Structure 1
Amino acid sequence: MDPTPRHPHMSILRTLQLLIQRGAWERWDDSTAGRSNNNRNEYSPSGPQPKISANLLDKTKLEENEISSATKRACGYIEPENEKNRSVTSMIQQRELGLAFSSSEKCRIGNIFLPNYMTKVAQYNSRAFCGSYSADGKLLVTASQDNLLHLYNTEDGEFREMKTIDTQNVSWSILDTAFSPDGKYIAYSSWSEALSLCPIYGDSSVQESLTLTPADMGRFCIFSLVFSSDSREILGAANDGCLYIYDRECHQSTIKIKGHADDVNSVAFADNTSQILYSGGDDGLCKVWDRRTLNEADPREVGVLAGHMDGITYVDSRGDGRYLLTNSKDQSIKLWDVRAFSSKEGETNTRKAVVNQDWDYRWHTHIPKQLYTPKTLLEGDTSVMTYKGHIVVQTLIRCHFSPAATTGQRYIYTGCGHGRVVIYDLLTGEIVQELHGHESCVRDVSWHPYHQELISASWDGVIGCWRYSSFPQRNIEEFEY
């Protein structure tokens, strides 16, 4: 649920005016269909304003955190003043003497050649919502509002469509997809009381329905889903404020966690143990859960990460059980260290900030100045770093850490409501690449785990593949099948 605006009549009139001007009566995002009118936020919008910290946004906390030195080591970072003494040319000369490149040197070279040129993989007749590589990078799955899954083989560097899969019980759109780690299945979600599981190989028309909640509950949706490392369980984020875990061996939903005061938009496992869970919701909070100490009857999070001023659209784990990213409707990505949870005061300030928002990111083209150009942080914000420059509007836009194998996880990349893919330098907060090529919102992005190429899925119906080119052209080429 979106919080009630401070001036509800003005907000409604403003929204109606925008809808009429833009002919956008049917422009819903993931979370529009099925929303109720119940406001479950505990704070009144007429209450006190959230406390703002006097500290300006800077890199101090980042530079003092272990992630800075660890990332520098992993990506072969060289201080700018020493860069000229350790050029790529000198590295190649060393290799000719028989000294093989280390993994960090490979990443350093790879980071010089970031994707900058888009080739069109596919053009659909409806909005593309999802596009992601499998863990080994050999497969790509895409999904759009045509209710089809498109599966591509990418082993030879080309995109050869293996099959088109008709989905079942899909309402509005397919909202998320996930490959099972064992490489045998794809799971997908929509506005439905059940997830769906289909085999990658063999007859994909034979699909298993994984029921999470009774059909008579009303409109229900899983916005985000992810497999456990052993492929046995699926974790889902739902519009009823709950996290669900479906056990494929037991053929039933085994855990339901009432976690947030509003829609849960994204979930992630912290690492391969599948014991620590992250969740982010429209209440603006990211919560950390430990299944080993969880009491389903009275679920209590291990800790809360607070500091956003609007709802969270996506959560991505670094995979080490320590660091994660959150993308938010407050137009920022935040980097977190789970060893530094937020205080009750920080949590309260986030809740107040969210409930006091008087705009609707799904419709309004004008982003409030206090969100897009803030000079301060909320008091109690424990994030390590805040990254700003992309636009989060219309839909639940996603962000990720770049791959360890090719970049040393030096970058953060995200879709954008203005049709861009934006790549940030994790170490500096600067935008190092803005990829222009789409005509509408880029909702999903996926960087190949072992190659310097990046997939973007846009509401213009285009699936794009970004690679490095010495002479990027303005015209977009298309793959030949």
Structure 2
Amino acid sequence: MSASRSPQDIPSEEDDPRTIVYDPTDPFWRDTDDDDDDDMDYVPATGGSEDEEGDSADLSFHDAAENLSGVEIEVEVTEDDDEDESEDSDDSEEGGVGGANPGRPIYISSEQIVQLLGNTGLRQLLATGGLRLGARRPVRIQDDDDEEGGTGYDPVGPRTRRRRGGGRAAFQKVPSDEGRELMNTGIFGSNDRPRDSIKRRKRLAYDVMSRELGTGSVGRQKNVNKVMRQGMIPGSMADTIIHYNSRCYSGQFSDDGNFFFSCAQDFKVRMYDTSNPYDWKFYKSVVYPYGQWTITDASLSPDNRFLAYSSIRSTVCLASTDPNDTSEPNLLDFANISNHNPRTYHTYFGIWSIRFSGDGREIVAGTGDNSVYVYDIERQQTILRIPGHEDDVNAVCFGDTQSPHILYSGSDDTTLKVWDRRSMGDGREAGVFLGHTEGLTYVDSKGDGRYVLSNGKDQTAKLWDLRKMHSKEKADRIDINAYTTRFEYRTNAYDESEYQPHPHDCSLVTFRGHKVLRTLIRCHFSPPGSTDSRYVYSGSYDGKIYVWNLDATLAGKIDVLKATKNSRPRDPNMLDETYDFYGRNSSSWMTCVRDASWHPNAPVVAATSWNGWGTSQGTCTVHTWNDGLEEDEGEPKIGRRVNALLQHDERLYTATAPPRRHWYDDYMNDE
């Protein structure tokens, strides 16, 4: 392997990203044979269909089931001695292999064989030390929209004995009393004041009339305006669907709403002019010249002049946002740390998360060597390295926009730590938040130096208060490894029956319903301008954006999967029959919303997703509040499909034959 690559040298499908070895003479390569590349589960192909820059991609697939026709495996169903036997007595009515009677021969179809021999199935066979065929009871998968849930073949593994005191019964109360108290304080949005004696009158129309008539005091009018903004949660119908030929990992609006950027797996960051949030204009694109696997994160400077973006390397690219500036990005080497001992420090690590400081002078990064880095842009040097975690640091952020003193870092070691740079002579954290039972995927600060939000692989988002964190002395007496299963979120479905609450949970509110699987899915506070800071929201593996009130009740959902399904032609050569851990056929249309951004001044949400046939491509979808309407008289028309340059592409409207339906398609789309 050569010591350097061009951006076009993307590994083929035959390459395994985990077996790439670096050339010791090349500082950009690092050994990826370890297990800390959280999103390394997909390899972009080369050659074939053209993207908007003229690059081509060749997608070749093999039908794993084509040689299995007519094959049947006879097994004998044995009695299940699980203590929860009584709960499964009606499994025969649900269908699946688990519904057979004990001792009765059953047959496994070729499709189920493929599922068994898929990635998850092989993991389970290896983990148990051998192959043991027996009857499997169907696992019930529940969704907030369907309390009964759906049933289907479970390729995850044999059932484990349920531990006492856990499961759904141990979930935090909804609505949350602490969250309701926060909502009543006005810190997270205004509360409506009862004033209308006509109960059936439409609230929005009445508020608009009151505003136009100028009725009430100035304070009442301001409150009405805030309450009106809160109710304008964007709908599922997409105004615009921007299609990419590679997965989209993240995308955010600037603080003033005039700018939007999206990061894709083709190592390009595309920038858009969103000064009119309903009519975007393509602005510019920049490239990570030495990227590995994907662009992991990006951050815009407070003055919108520079964009920093990272990959699974120790180098961050810093590019100008000026469309007339075509120069190469500056390379910021985070391994260039002042006053370090080269004998005890290695320079090969990947960066998972970066953020600009409020003054634009520094960049903080979370890395794969369990550390937090602070880089001084003017000095072009790392001025602080905090090796403060026991596992990958997936997310970092500053506590507020006024000073760079307070840092937050979320790690796969299940902790969220607080760092005060004014008192770090001994490298000690200022405090620790405990409550997640699996690794953290993202951290977002409200910007007031008090409240912080996190997403976790335990399928929860949590709200924290800086005043309620554990001291380091108390946290050091707690074995954090005693309360985690090290759930492998990339290849398994989460079993809620195995959930155990953390006995030292110091979070204020816990939010549930979304699926934090397969990749580092992100969550955010809603902006004060367009929502009065009323909500928190998160992407999800099931293709939706979940919006919660602060009391953990669901305020709304934006269904990106429904808005984008079949919005681009299906590749006729896509014939593979592999399955994910929910049993979905990977050649069907699937959506995983990895990131979402709420416009600071308008009721608009932009979602960046893995999206398409088998989530092999990506989209950025623009969703606006339209009062539930599915059509709009304005321009541009709702539902338009464009390429990454926002150009109309007739090929995106080409009709294709619908793929074979699977039970999971109905489950995911059933409202």
Q: Which residue among 546, 555, 559 is the counterpart of 1:422?
A: 546
Q: Which residue among 10, 13, 18 is the counterpart of 2:118?
A: 18
Instruction: Report whether the alignment pairs 1:477 with 2:628.
Output: no
User: Conserved in 2, the CA contact under 8 Å of 1:50 and 1:350?
Assistant: no
SS at match of 1:459: strand
SS at match of 1:440: strand
SS at match of 2:353: strand
Q: Which residue among 397, 420, 424 is the counterpart of 1:294?
A: 424
| Alignment correspondent of 1:150 | 270
Q: Which residue among 267, 270, 275 is the counterpart of 2:405?
A: 275
1:203-225 Cα offsets, whole Å, 9 max, x none, are 24321111111699364111111
User: Conserved in 1, the CA contact under 8 Å of 2:597 and 2:605?
Assistant: yes
Deviation of residue 86 (structure 1)?
A: 9.5
Equivalent residues in 2 for 1:171-320, closer than 5 Å: 171-201=292-322, 202-213=324-335, 217=346, 219-272=348-401, 273-295=403-425, 298-320=426-448
User: Conserved in 1, the CA contact under 8 Å of 2:451 and 2:466?
Assistant: yes
| Alignment correspondent of 1:367 | 494
Give the aligned CA root-mean-square deviation in angstroms: 3.2
Q: Distance in 2 between matches of 1:156 and 1:239?
A: 38
Q: Distance in 2 between matches of 1:248 and 1:173?
A: 23
User: Conserved in 2, the CA contact under 8 Å of 1:148 and 1:166?
Assistant: yes
Letter in 2 for 1:453: V
Q: Distance in 2 between matches of 1:105 and 1:327?
A: 32
Equivalent residues in 2 for 1:371-382, closer than 5 Å: 374=499, 377-382=501-506
Letter in 1 for 2:455: N
Q: Which moved more, 1:87-96 or 1:452-461?
A: 87-96
1:349-396 Cα offsets, whole Å, 9 max, x none, are 643222x33x411112x212246xx4x632111111111000011110
User: Conserved in 2, the CA contact under 8 Å of 1:247 and 1:254?
Assistant: yes
Letter in 1 for 2:488: D
| Alignment correspondent of 2:481 | 351
User: Conserved in 2, the CA contact under 8 Å of 1:389 and 1:431?
Assistant: no
User: 1:81–1:322: structure 2 CA closer, same or farther, 3 Å change rule?
Assistant: farther
State the percentage of identical aligned residues: 32
User: Conserved in 2, the CA contact under 8 Å of 1:398 and 1:415?
Assistant: yes
1:417-457 Cα offsets, whole Å, 9 max, x none, are 11211111223432522423353211111111111101111
User: Which consecutive unaligned segments of at least 5 residues does structure 2 have?
Assistant: 1-33, 37-114, 123-162, 337-341, 565-589, 612-617, 632-637, 648-671
Deviation of residue 406 (structure 1)?
A: 1.5
| Alignment correspondent of 1:337 | 465
Q: Distance in 2 between matches of 1:334 and 1:80?
A: 34
User: Conserved in 2, the CA contact under 8 Å of 1:235 and 1:267?
Assistant: yes
User: Conserved in 1, the CA contact under 8 Å of 2:207 and 2:228?
Assistant: no
Letter in 2 for 1:339: R
Deviation of residue 175 (structure 1)?
A: 0.6
Instruction: Report whether the alignment pairs 1:411 with 2:535.
Output: yes
User: Conserved in 1, the CA contact under 8 Å of 2:432 and 2:475?
Assistant: no
| Alignment correspondent of 2:214 | 98
Q: Distance in 2 between matches of 1:326 and 1:400?
A: 8
Q: Distance in 1 between matches of 2:214 and 2:233?
A: 27
Deviation of residue 197 (structure 1)?
A: 0.1
User: Conserved in 2, the CA contact under 8 Å of 1:52 and 1:378?
Assistant: no
Q: Distance in 1 between matches of 2:523 and 2:408?
A: 15
User: 1:96–1:144: structure 2 CA closer, same or farther, 3 Å change rule?
Assistant: closer
Instruction: Report whether the alignment pairs 1:162 with 2:162.
Output: no
| Alignment correspondent of 1:130 | 250
| Alignment correspondent of 1:464 | 621
Q: Distance in 2 between matches of 1:283 and 1:346?
A: 14
SS at match of 1:151: strand
State the TM-score, normalizing by the size of structure 1: 0.82
User: 1:261–1:80: structure 2 CA closer, same or farther, 3 Å change rule?
Assistant: farther
State the TM-score, normalizing by the size of structure 2: 0.60
SS at match of 2:417: strand
Name whichever structure is richer in strand by fraction. 1
Q: Which residue among 525, 529, 532 is the counterpart of 1:401?
A: 525
Q: Which moved more, 1:194-203 or 1:80-89?
A: 80-89
Instruction: Report whether the alignment pairs 1:75 with 2:196.
Output: no
User: 1:427–1:141: structure 2 CA closer, same or farther, 3 Å change rule?
Assistant: same
User: Conserved in 2, the CA contact under 8 Å of 1:346 and 1:379?
Assistant: no
SS at match of 1:109: helix
Deviation of residue 246 (structure 1)?
A: 0.5
SS at match of 1:170: coil
User: Conserved in 2, the CA contact under 8 Å of 1:245 and 1:255?
Assistant: yes
User: 1:76–1:463: structure 2 CA closer, same or farther, 3 Å change rule?
Assistant: same
User: 1:336–1:20: structure 2 CA closer, same or farther, 3 Å change rule?
Assistant: closer
User: Conserved in 1, the CA contact under 8 Å of 2:179 and 2:550?
Assistant: no
User: Conserved in 2, the CA contact under 8 Å of 1:453 and 1:467?
Assistant: yes
User: Which consecutive unaligned segments of at least 5 residues does structure 1 have?
Assistant: 4-14, 23-48
Instruction: Report whether the alignment pairs 1:444 with 2:616.
Output: no
1:127-172 Cα offsets, whole Å, 9 max, x none, are 0011111111111111111111111111123121112222222110
SS at match of 1:339: helix
User: Conserved in 2, the CA contact under 8 Å of 1:61 and 1:384?
Assistant: no
User: Conserved in 2, the CA contact under 8 Å of 1:346 and 1:378?
Assistant: no
Q: Distance in 2 between matches of 1:2 and 1:407?
A: 39
Q: Distance in 1 between matches of 2:185 and 2:531?
A: 15
Larger radius of gyration: 2
Q: Distance in 2 between matches of 1:293 and 1:50?
A: 43
Instruction: Report whether the alignment pairs 1:323 with 2:451.
Output: yes
User: Conserved in 2, the CA contact under 8 Å of 1:2 and 1:282?
Assistant: no
User: Conserved in 1, the CA contact under 8 Å of 2:352 and 2:368?
Assistant: yes
1:175-200 Cα offsets, whole Å, 9 max, x none, are 10110001110000001121110000
Letter in 2 for 1:238: T
Bigger relative contact order (CA 8 A; separation at least 6) = 1
| Alignment correspondent of 2:614 | none
Q: Distance in 2 between matches of 1:185 and 1:175?
A: 17
Deviation of residue 52 (structure 1)?
A: 7.5
| Alignment correspondent of 2:232 | 113
Q: Distance in 2 between matches of 1:431 and 1:347?
A: 39
Q: Distance in 2 between matches of 1:311 and 1:304?
A: 14
Give the paired residue count: 436
User: Conserved in 1, the CA contact under 8 Å of 2:530 and 2:599?
Assistant: no
User: Conserved in 1, the CA contact under 8 Å of 2:233 and 2:556?
Assistant: no
User: Conserved in 1, the CA contact under 8 Å of 2:297 and 2:311?
Assistant: yes
User: Conserved in 1, the CA contact under 8 Å of 2:545 and 2:593?
Assistant: yes
Deviation of residue 263 (structure 1)?
A: 0.2
User: Conserved in 2, the CA contact under 8 Å of 1:323 and 1:337?
Assistant: yes
Letter in 2 for 1:206: E
Q: Distance in 2 between matches of 1:17 and 1:337?
A: 46
| Alignment correspondent of 1:57 | 172
Q: Which moved more, 1:190-199 or 1:53-62?
A: 53-62
